[in-house]
Amino acid sequence: MYKVLAVFKSGNLLENSMFFPFTCFCFHLFKAMKRFQKYGLCLDPSKKYSLLDEIGSHFLDLAIELTRQGKSFSIVLDNIDWEIRAHDVRENHQNTSEHAVASSLVFDRVSSEHLPDCGPQKDIKTVDPGIFLLCDDELSEIACRYGIYAARIIVDVFPKLNFLSDLLPKHIPHQYSEEMKLKSEVITMPVLMKDEKKYADCVDVMDTFEEWIREIYTKASNGLRNAVPHPPPGARSPIHGPSRPDQPASHAPPVPDPVDPLCGVKVPCIGDQLTRVRFAGAKDLRAGAHTSKDRLDHLYPFRCAGWHTKRSFLKVGLQDSRTKVHGSCSSTDSATSYPLCNHHPLPRPKMK
């Protein structure tokens, strides 16, 4: 409403007799809202920003409660880029590119606390590649599950076959069936107006993550240091060299600091290739700091998510199959797989 009045005032419309009744109504409405606000019947327009700040200060409450229950979490993040185009381009008024970092806390339904993290378990130069391949039993199990998925689709598409739906399992049994029945806990964090391509901004983002981690674990343990998980003696042997000669030392497990209140806490950061490279380099910039918090020791490891790789794989595969099956003459036909090759799940419109 204030913005409406500002527009009217800027256009000298308040003095116009045509809009005078509307102007009087707005001013009387504002006075009534301020009076009603004292009795708790409505909210004054000027108080909305304070209310939003108060709501935003509680975004860690659920994370604290889940951490108090013994659950661990990872930070999943990605960059947001958009362009604001100027309506009239001038020397001092150009198109601008904006950048931000969006993140969320994803809690693990399957615990990994029992797994060793003291370094590589095997030498990659001598390991047998066959251990990474599926055996015959696993391939047979995958084929069986694909059959269940295909049967579900057929029953859903053809209504005449609905009577067969009772024969299909509602949930495919597996090792973690009970854990998968639980609700996925994903907490959206505030968007940070930082550019992931700049090391200085990456350091600021990681500092913010460290503050969130410290607040979560401190409040979850009621400020008691002995409630924070500690590494057992000899469980984590420090590795002083990088994982590869061309990789930063930040990919090596951090050495536990006995005086650190959060000793033993490590939160993985998951993103694309840009996130992994920039965060690893940014952490190396703090390697000479005196405290674990300043060294960003609680942010480890940095892992790649394959969402870009999956999209590229599907795009190449669909383009190859389109060329073989339909030919180049039908590339613009809506009945072919061509639209799937150029489909963007998250389009990036240019804002004006």
- Tell me which residue has tokens 């108080």: 47
**Strands (DSSP E) found in 194-257:** none
pLDDT at position 7? 45
Residue 100 in this model has a pLDDT that exceeds 90: yes
For residue 118, being part of any structural domain is answered with no
In the predicted model, what is the mean pLDDT of residues 76-96? 88
Whether residue 253 sits in one domain with residue 208: yes
Report the mean per-residue pLDDT for the chain.
Answer: 76
Upstream peptide bond of 345 is cis (omega within 30 degrees of 0): no
Whether residue 105 sits in one domain with residue 27: no
For residue 288, being part of any structural domain is answered with yes
CA distance 71 to 109: 8
Higher model confidence: residue 250 or residue 275? 275
For residue 241, being part of any structural domain is answered with yes
For residue 166, being part of any structural domain is answered with yes
Residue 231 in this model has a pLDDT that exceeds 60: no
Query: How would residue 316 be classed by pLDDT, with cut points 50, 70 and 90?
Result: low
Whether residue 103 sits in one domain with residue 204: yes
CA distance 272 to 268: 13
What confidence tens digit (pLDDT) does each residue in 173-190 have? 888 888 888 888 999 888
pLDDT at position 103? 92
pLDDT at position 275? 87
Whether residue 98 sits in one domain with residue 217: yes
**Measured CA distances, 301 to 106, 161, 254, 270, 285 (Å):** 15, 48, 9, 8, 16
Tokens of 18: 């045509």
Whether residue 171 sits in one domain with residue 189: no
pLDDT at position 321? 57
In the predicted model, what is the mean pLDDT of residues 120-148? 87
What confidence tens digit (pLDDT) does each residue in 50-84 have? 777 777 778 888 999 999 988 899 999 999 999 98
Residue 319 in this model has a pLDDT that exceeds 70: no
Whether residue 264 sits in one domain with residue 282: yes
Look at residues 242, 254, 243 and name the one whose alpha carbon lies nearest to residue 295: 254
For the chain, helix (H) and strand (E) counts, in that order, are 10, 5
pLDDT at position 106? 93
CA distance 105 to 299: 13
For residue 115, being part of any structural domain is answered with no
Higher model confidence: residue 49 or residue 300? 300
pLDDT at position 248? 66
Query: How would residue 213 be classed by pLDDT, with cut points 50, 70 and 90?
Result: very high
Question: Do 262 and 143 meet the contact criterion of CB atoms below 8 Å apart?
Answer: no
Whether residue 169 sits in one domain with residue 190: no
Whether this prediction's pTM lies above 0.75 is answered by: no
pLDDT at position 55? 74
CA distance 202 to 280: 10
Whether residue 173 sits in one domain with residue 82: no
What confidence tens digit (pLDDT) does each residue in 25-34 have? 766 777 777 7
For residue 124, being part of any structural domain is answered with no
Look at residues 303, 261, 298, 265 and name the one whose alpha carbon lies nearest to residue 283: 298
Whether residue 147 sits in one domain with residue 29: no
Q: What's the domain range around 22?
A: 2-55
Phi first, then psi, for residue 27 (nearest 5°) are -65, -40
pLDDT at position 324? 53
For residue 24, being part of any structural domain is answered with yes
Strand order in 267-271's β-sheet?
186-188, 96-107, 73-84, 267-271, 299-304
Whether residue 301 sits in one domain with residue 205: yes
Phi first, then psi, for residue 19 (nearest 5°) are -100, 5
Whether residue 290 sits in one domain with residue 231: yes
Which three-class secondary structure state does DSSP give residue 101?
strand
Which range among 118-127, 200-209, 304-313, 338-347 has the greatest average pLDDT? 200-209
For residue 334, being part of any structural domain is answered with yes
pLDDT at position 224? 44
Q: Which residues contact 119 (CB under 8 A, 6 or more apart)?
A: 237, 239, 253
Whether residue 214 sits in one domain with residue 267: yes
CA distance 351 to 310: 27
Phi first, then psi, for residue 106 (nearest 5°) are -115, 115
Q: Look at the chain and report how many structural domains it folds into.
A: 4
- Tell me which residue has tokens 């295909």: 150
Residue 255 in this model has a pLDDT that exceeds 80: no
